[in-house]
Structure 1
Amino acid sequence: MNITKEQIDDLNAVVKVAITKDDYQEKVDKILKDYRKQANVPGFRKGQVPLGLIKKQYGKAVLVDEVNKLIQDNLNKYLTEEKLDVLGNPLPKQKEDFDWDNETLDFEFELGLAPNFDVQLKTKKAIVQYKIVADKKMIDEQVERIQKQYGKLVTKAEVGKVAEVIGIFKNEAEEIENKSTLEIDKIKSKKAVNALLGKKVGEEVTLNTKGLFKEDYLLSGALGIDREKAEKLNIDVTFTIEEINERQAATLDQELFDKLFGKDNVTSENELRDKIKEDSEKQFEQQSDQKLLNDITERLIDNTKFELPAEFLKKWIQLSGENPLSDDEASEEYEKSEKGLRYQLIEGKIIKENDLQVQLEELKEFSKGFIKSQMAQYGHLNPSEEELENISMRVLGNQDEVKRLSEQLMSQKLLDLYKEKANLKVKEVSYDNFIKEAYS
């Protein structure tokens, strides 16, 4: 077998593969002899079918299969040995007059080659790195939320402005009948609030669903219907009151602090506020980091210029799927994927030039941190090292999880690198202002 490369230009090449009978005949003959031993052909005893008949029936198919295996194995080996950085996969060039009976079988494969380019992490124009701070308004709201959540329900004779009213929503035409809790301070419609105020257990009020709540998603839960239906709903429903309560705010005392954070970890309202600020800002880091990663990605794509073997890639997209695409469909798919492919190449170069690797021990520690944060969401704040180790080993036994966690860890390594080497400008903002600035 002989493999050679013809360079068309910097981004395109053709690999030529010449295969002779010496490369495949021995293997083909062995397979056909094995077929002969197993063949059941009327008029012949098993294993006694003439080899010529076996060759006539199966010879071409076996030849094609073995040649394809040879090409696949040796072409991949050649690309590796020659250190050719190809995009997509080699595409065979079709020959209309190809003859499988020739002494030498010649094949050609088109290659799309990855471009050479440089990546500059330190751009001239600084990229904003947001530091989201928990302001007094946010901390006050969180303290109020805690007091409400851990407060006591007190039964009331009639509906007041901060009441929690349990009742049944009904509308026969829409087949709605659902028992739920209505919090008066979450109702947006003044007409609805006025209709409810002063009402007693057993009384019924009519409410319109359009703009009923301050948050639209609350309607689907209240009526027991899916969100899609709730979004379009503009009907009257009856609400029959079964129970009226008001939530008495919890006292900010040591009993509450211990319940929230463990014994004596927080001992005053000031420490509570500091803890809320610290925890909130830690959670905000994930959002600001994701924003930073997105912004750096966009800047790198815009600033790193290189050509791609576009025509090759369109042809590869056209032929590589389950169903071949038309020229227009392939061009459209290429336009959609070009930006992602560019960043994939840029990211690969950054990883290689900075020797970023994911080691097994790093991955194990990363998975433990992920598991610990997941457990904390369900109230398990202090898992033992043995517990984390056992769960981590189970998680890392799943290849899909290994791939997912490895990608997350590499993203973290890239983010750390960008924070160290990119031209960043730190800007402190409240969460509300971050949302306005970052996603306006």
Structure 2
Amino acid sequence: MNIRKEHIDALNAVVKITIGKYEYTEKIENFLEVKRKTATLPGFRKGKTPMDVVRKQFEKPAIIEEVSKLVNKGLSDYIAKEKLDLLGNALPRFNENFDWKADELVFEYELGLAPEFSVDLSRASGVTRYKIVADDALLNEQVERIQKQYGKILTETEVKEGFEINGTFTNEEKEINNSALISLDIFADAKTAKQFIGKKVGDVVVLKTKGLFNDDHQLMDYLKVSHDDVHGLDIEVNFTIDAIQSIEKAEINDELFAKLFPNGEVTTLDGLKDKIKEDAEQQFVQQADQKFLNDVTEALLETTKFDLPETFLKKWIQTIGETPLTAEQAEVEFAKSERGLRYQLIESKIFIQNNLQVRFEELKDFTSGLIRQQMAQFGQANATDAEVDGIVSRVMSNQEEIKRISDQVLSLKMIDLYKTNVKAVEKEVNYQDFVKAMYGEM
């Protein structure tokens, strides 16, 4: 077998594999001899079929199968030996007039080569890194939420100021059908709230979505519509009242503190707000880090330039699905996937340049931490090492779970890398402003 590579350009190459007849003839002859002895063909007794009849029926398929094995192994070994960094898989060039009886069989494969480039993290300088603070408005809101959570629920017959309403938002055209618990202070316009006053169970209130809330993103929560649909959404929705309730808020006293903190670590309103602030801002760090990661990613995509073997990739896309695509369909699919492919290459290069990898012990420790955190949430804060190790072993026996957790660990490593190497502009915001920044509205 002879294999050689011919470069078309920096990103495209053709591999030519030549196989001589002598490389497979003996194996084919042995196969045909066995077939002659075992085959039962019409008109001949078993074992008495003439070789020319056996050869006519079985030789070509046998050659195709055996040569295909040789070619596939030769190509795979060659790619590994030459350490070729490919995009997609090798694409065979088909020859309608291919002669399987020739003394030399030549096969050609097109290759799309990964581009050579480097990633300069300094190009992402200027990205904003947010620090989210829990302001007084949020703290007061959370205190009131706790008071309501531990308060007494009273069933009411008609809606009044301060009451809560269980109901269902519906719109047939947009396929909206979502149950929600609302209070009248969620609406942007006081006139909207007044429509509910005096209503009873079973009544329907018709609402216009345009300007319904101070923040259009609330439509995502209450109507369960996508982010792409909320901006400028101008339709009517029906809200059918299913139940009306008022809440007698729990008093902020020793009894409430004892329910919230049985160990007595919080005994005052100021202490409660400090605890809320601490917990909230700890959670906010994860959200701010994720946005920082996303924003650096976008900056690197915009500033890291390299070419792709587009023609090859479009041809490859035509072949990878269950149903072959037309050239036009492949063009559309390539446009959809190009950005993702570019970032995969950038991310891979960052891993290599900075020696980012996940060791088994790191993966195991991270999984253990996740499990302990989850168990604590369900009241099992004192789980033994043996209990946790048993769960870790089960989780890490699942390849999909290992992949998911590995991605989480790598993301954390990427965030740490970016925090160290990307000169960001730090900005302190409250959570409401952070949400606006998240959706590009600041």
TM-score of the alignment, normalized to the shorter chain, above 0.5: yes
Q: Which residue of 2 aligns with 1:313?
A: 313
How far is 1:204 from its partner?
6.8
- Is 1:112–1:309's contact at 8 Å kept on the other side of the alignment? yes
Cα distance, 1:303 vs structure 2: 1.4
Aligned partner of 1:208 in structure 2 is 205
In the other structure, the counterpart of 1:291 is 291
Mapped contact 2:151–2:250 kept (Cα < 8 A)? yes
Post-superposition CA distance 1:407-432 (Å, at most 9, x none) = 22212211211111122222111111
Change (3 A) 1:240 1:361: closer
Aligned to 2:24: 24
**What residue is the counterpart of 1:407 in the other structure?**
407
SS in 1 for 2:300: helix
Aligned residue identity for 1:271: G
Higher deviation after alignment, 75-84 or 34-43: 34-43
Retained in 1: the 8 A contact 2:208–2:236? no
How much does 1:387 deviate? 3.0
What TM-score, normalized by structure 2, do the two folds share? Answer: 0.82
Q: 1:160 to 1:382 in 2, by over 3 A?
A: farther
Instruction: Supply the distance in 1 between the matched residues of 2:94 and 2:157 (Cα, whole angstroms).
Output: 86
Partners of 2:404 and 2:303 in 1: how far apart? Answer: 29
CA RMSD, Structure 1 to Structure 2 (Å): 3.5
Residues in 2 aligned to 1:397 and 1:233: alpha-carbon distance in whole angstroms = 51
Distance 1:16 1:205, change over 3 A: closer
Corresponding residue for 2:265?
A: 265
1:392 corresponds to which residue? 392
Q: Does 1:300 find its partner at 2:311?
A: no
Q: Contact 2:167–2:239 at 8 Å: present in 1 too?
A: no
Q: Letter of the aligned partner of 2:341 in structure 1?
A: L
Structure 2 residue aligned with 1:347: 347
Aligned to 2:149: 149
In the other structure, the counterpart of 1:368 is 368
Opposite residue 393 of structure 1, the aligned amino acid is: S
In the TM superposition, residue 8 of structure 1 has moved relative to its aligned partner by 2.1
- AA of the residue aligned to 2:299: R
Give 1:116's aligned residue: 116
Aligned to 1:435: 435
- Letter in structure 2 aligned against 1:4: R
Q: Is the 8 A contact 1:188 1:211 kept in 2?
A: no
Matched, 1:328 2:328: yes
Distance in 2, Cα, partners of 1:186 & 1:5: 67
Aligned partners of 1:19, 1:107: CA distance in 2, in Å? 8
The alpha-carbon deviation at position 354 of structure 1 amounts to 1.4
**Structure 2: unaligned runs, 5 residues or longer:** 170-178, 225-233
User: How far is the alpha carbon of 1:46 from its aligned partner?
Assistant: 4.3
One-letter amino acid of the structure 1 residue matched with residue 99 of structure 2: D
Q: Over residues 161-193 of structure 1, what are the superposed CA-to-partner deviations in whole Å (9 max), with x where a residue is unaligned?
A: 234578999xxxxxxxxx998756567886786
> Against the structure 1 CA distance between its residues 306 and 186, is the aligned structure 2 distance closer, same or farther, given a 3 Å change threshold?
closer
Where does residue 231 of structure 2 map in the other structure?
Answer: none
Q: Aligned partners of 1:129, 1:192: CA distance in 2, in Å?
A: 38
Summarize the alignment of residues 122-201 of structure 1 with structure 2, pairs less than 5 Å apart: 122-123=122-123, 125-153=125-153, 160-164=160-164
Does the 8 Å contact 2:132/2:281 carry over to 1?
yes
Does residue 14 of the first structure (1) align with residue 14 of the second (2)?
Answer: yes
1:295/1:185 CA distance change after superposition, 3 Å? closer
Instruction: Point out the more displaced range, 117-126 or 64-73.
Output: 117-126
The alpha carbon displacement at 1:232 in A equals: 6.5
State the alpha-carbon separation in 2 of the partners of residues 240 and 300 from structure 1. 50
Distance of 1:391 and 1:149 partners within structure 2: 33
Aligned AA for 1:348? Answer: S
Three-state SS of the structure 2 residue aligned to 1:3 is: strand
* Whole-Å separation in 1 of the counterparts to 2:325 and 2:168: 55
**Are the counterparts in 2 of residues 196 and 205 from structure 1 also a CA contact under 8 Å?**
no
* Alignment match, 2:174: none
Q: Tell me the distance in 2 between the aligned counterparts of 1:119 and 1:166.
A: 53
> Normalising to structure 1: TM-score of the pair?
0.82
Distance 1:157-1:42 versus aligned 2 partners, 3 A rule: closer
CA contact 1:123–1:423 (8 Å) conserved in 2? no
Alignment check: 8 A CA contact 2:158 2:201 kept:
no
Q: Partner of 1:210: helix, strand, or coil?
A: strand
| Distance in structure 2 (CA, Å) of the matches to 1:423 and 1:266 | 39
Q: Distance in 1 between matches of 2:184 and 2:124?
A: 53
Distance 2:273 2:21 in 1: 81
Aligned to 1:359: 359
Q: CA deviation at 1:72?
A: 1.1
Residues 381/277 of structure 1: CA separation in 2 closer, same or farther (3 Å cut): farther
SS at structure 1 position matched to 2:322: coil
Letter matched to residue 95 of structure 2: K
What secondary structure, in the 3-state scheme, does the structure 2 residue paired with 1:15 have? strand
- Matches of 1:258 and 1:205 in 2, distance apart? 39
Partner in structure 2 of residue 426 of structure 1: 426
- What per-residue deviation string (whole Å, max 9, x for no partner) do you get for residues 66-87 of structure 1? 1111111111111111111111
Q: Quick check: 2:148–2:247 contact (8 Å CA) kept in 1?
A: yes
**5+ long unaligned stretches in structure 1:** 170-178, 222-230
Q: 1:372 to 1:254 in 2, by over 3 A?
A: farther
SS in 1 for 2:318: helix
Q: Which moved more, 1:6-15 or 1:33-42?
A: 33-42
SS at 1:208 equivalent = strand
For 2:37 and 2:339, locate their aligned partners in 1 and report how far apart those are by CA, in whole Å: 56
- Residue 249, structure 1, aligned to residue 249, structure 2: yes
User: Are the counterparts in 1 of residues 124 and 300 from structure 2 also a CA contact under 8 Å?
Assistant: no
Distance, in Å, in 1 between the alignment partners of 2:306 and 2:221 is 50
Q: Per the alignment, do residues 193 and 5 of structure 1 end up closer, same or farther by CA in structure 2, a change over 3 Å counting?
A: closer
Contact 2:196 2:205 in 1 (8 A): no
Change (3 A) 1:252 1:34: farther
- Report the CA distance shift for 1:154/1:342 in structure 2 as closer, same or farther (over 3 A): closer
Aligned residues: 417
